[in-house]
Amino acid sequence: MTPLAREVPRLASLTGPVSRDLDRLHARARDQARRGRRPAVVSFTVAAEDLDPIALWEGAAILTHERALWSAPGGTMAMVALGAAAVLEAGPGPDAAAGPEAAGAGPAAPLAAIAPALASAWQALCEGALIDAPHGVWGTGPVVVGGFAFDPQEAADSLWAGFPAARFVLPELLVTRTGGGTWLTFNRVVVPGVVTAAERGAGTPAAAGAGGEGAGWVFPGGIRLRVPAAATTAAGERGRRWLSLLAVASTAGRRPGSGGTDPRGPAGAPGPGGPGKAEAGPGGRAGLQLAGAAGLGAAPGAPGWPGSAGGREGSGSSARPHGAGGFPSLLGARAVPGRDEWEAMLGAALDAIGRGELAKVVLARRLHLRAAAAFDPGTALRRLQAGYPECFIFAVARDRTVFLGATPERLVRLRDRRVETAAVAGSTARGATPEADAALARELLASPKEREEHALVVRMLRDTLGPVCRVLDVPAEPRLLQLRNVQHLYTPITGVVDGATVPELVARLHPTPALGGWPRERALAFIRRWEGGSRGWYAAPLGWFDHRGEGEMAVAIRSGVVRGPEAWLFAGCGVVAGSDPGREWQETALKLQPLAAALGVEPGAPEVDHGG
């Protein structure tokens, strides 16, 4: 055990001191809010014993509907955001497009107004914040966690209820695991005129309209601040409740057979079948096969279709609630759009490219899964973490809905003025043997089509960051980013920037040609017309940033929405001159596999077309 670990207090010993400090800081913030007639932020950080992030994210469901998990590649950093001290939101419509645009973002950038307005609101909220974070650890103190919609101009459908154009939460409790230590940050936002139940008991009148709905505030640019009612209760009492939860979660995470995982432990290795084969998961079940006739791109009625012998969606009357390995039995899988609609959409894209209207467009599809029992997001997260250590693992829970995934693509990281991003474009499968894998990698690196698709992203990132960076390093040649079932061309880009924040950089960068296409405005218009459904937070920026505007955002691809026994999985591909619709269908099938397998979908389960 390291000296630092010996000095870390046990959770039980923190209850009294944390409760007293939170009450003390809350009283100071209440006075500050009253004098300044504006909200005041309190943030208090302490070191703590080690905790399992996924076990904690799961266990917190008994106490809050607001939960988020963020785990960086290799387990270098993990965050669990629990509860909501405050929520900053921007919805669709005129308010979402109001406010000053980010300099250099251009009128075609969909977040050009929302992201800078959010940054401004967050900076204003944190002005004069009472911060007690003596350790100075990156990712502690006032930190908001959340995401943006891919395209705020796109009308959101019911699937994305609760996931508006922008939504970032200042958690009541943030657990940060990094650098060999674990830290707990307790946050509060005190709004003028809103008092706690304890203060009302002492004779202080309640604010008009506070009731059980909390309190609100509106910032310029249409950014709304909401302080939930639960976050206006006595600060010390809330702190004690959170510490009690942590104590239970820490015990569960250490219990043999609990399924707890350590993101800082050894990386998951490919299964015995080689790089393209998934290892057996819980209960001895393997992941999905590579895309093909029996994979996620299979034709309707293919062997292995769950349900009755007839193979029609939802027709299996003998399905049991759980199949092998304890996973729910699959009742149906529907591709949206179906294969015919997909080929028509790609044909239209290739026509537009041939006419010179587009250089590239990224088109996505979804797979709707229905099971006999609820899917298990916690188990899915553990399998993703073990199988894809090179990826960002994330989950955002809103009531019964969970948006989760494993993305290999960082959009931006900003720390101490150093900015990092990466071009990830150009893809192929992994080989079943080392020799086949190496051959596929050589083919990818030598492909003119894939190299040009990748170069388009690199040029956009260089041209976008160049004006705001004092130094910008762009390697001349891409390298390989090899995941378990797919490999990509990859170019990391670093620079030094002055005076920019993560949201402002997001406004410049999103969407890159790897997620939307090029030219940006025309590509977005094509997507709105042809995809036939809202992307919501899929392929959009998701992550965190602190009161200084530093933090990290990834692109939420290889992701899906889980709601009880239903799941909607998303995947996309870049269409350029020379693209083949059939091959692109198979590429998206390959990208659907990680999350589908993590949710326990049977190997060989096919898709059916939109018409069912």
Question: 């709707």: which residue's tokens?
Answer: 368
500 burial via Cβ count (<10 Å: 0-12, 13-18, 19+): buried
Q: Which two tokens mark 182?
A: 């674990």
Q: Beta-carbon neighbour count of residue 90 at 10 Å?
A: 30
Sequential DSSP letters for 171-219: -SEEEEEETTEEEEEEEEEE-TT---HHHHHTTPPPPTTTTTT-EEEEE
473 residue type, one letter? D
Q: Phi and psi at residue 258, in whole multiples of 5°?
A: -75, -15
Instruction: Round to whole Å and give the CA distance between 458 and 439.
Output: 25
| Residues noted as catalytic | 360, 409
Region of 203 (left: φ > 0; alpha: ψ -120 to 50; beta: rest) is left
469-473 and 486-497 as β-strands: parallel, antiparallel, unpaired? antiparallel
Q: Report the DSSP beta bridge partners of residue 322.
A: 328
Instruction: Round to whole Å and give the CA distance between 333 and 366.
Output: 10
**Dihedral sign, Cα of residue 598, residue 600, residue 605, residue 607:** negative
Residue pair 610/368 in contact by the 8 Å Cβ criterion: no
Instruction: Round to whole Å and give the CA distance between 236 and 17.
Output: 9
3-state secondary structure of 265: coil
Q: Which two tokens mark 27?
A: 């009283």
Q: Beta-carbon neighbour count of residue 23 at 10 Å?
A: 16
Beta carbons within 8 Å of 566's beta carbon, 6+ residues apart: 368, 369, 370, 371, 375
Q: Report the DSSP beta bridge partners of residue 395.
A: 69, 404
What is the 8-class DSSP label of residue 254?
H
**Dihedral sign, Cα of residue 304, residue 309, residue 310, residue 312:** negative
Q: Which two tokens mark 219?
A: 């910032």
Q: Which two tokens mark 105?
A: 């973002």
CA atoms within 13 A on the CB side of 355: 7
What's the alpha-carbon Rg for the chain, to the nearest Å? 24
